[in-house]
Amino acid sequence: MDPASVGIAFIIALAVACLIPAVLATYLWIKTPEGETRG
């Protein structure tokens, strides 16, 4: 692979890795009922 493609692949990998916690949290946030409070 030419260096530029490796660079772009790496940028995509970095972005995808960062989206894992974001997407997982969004899923759990939507799925969780409102009633789970501290009390």
CB of 16 vs other proteins, minimal distance in Å: 8
CB of 7 vs other proteins, minimal distance in Å: 5
Q: What secondary structure letter does DSSP report for 36?
A: -
Q: Show the site string, 1-39: x = touches other proteins by CB under 8 A, - = not.
A: -xxx-xxx-xx-xxx-xxxxxx-xxx-xx--xxxxxxx-
CB of 35 vs other proteins, minimal distance in Å: 8
CA 33, distance to chain mean position in Å, is: 22
How far is residue 20's CA from residue 36's CA, in Å, rounded to a whole number? 24
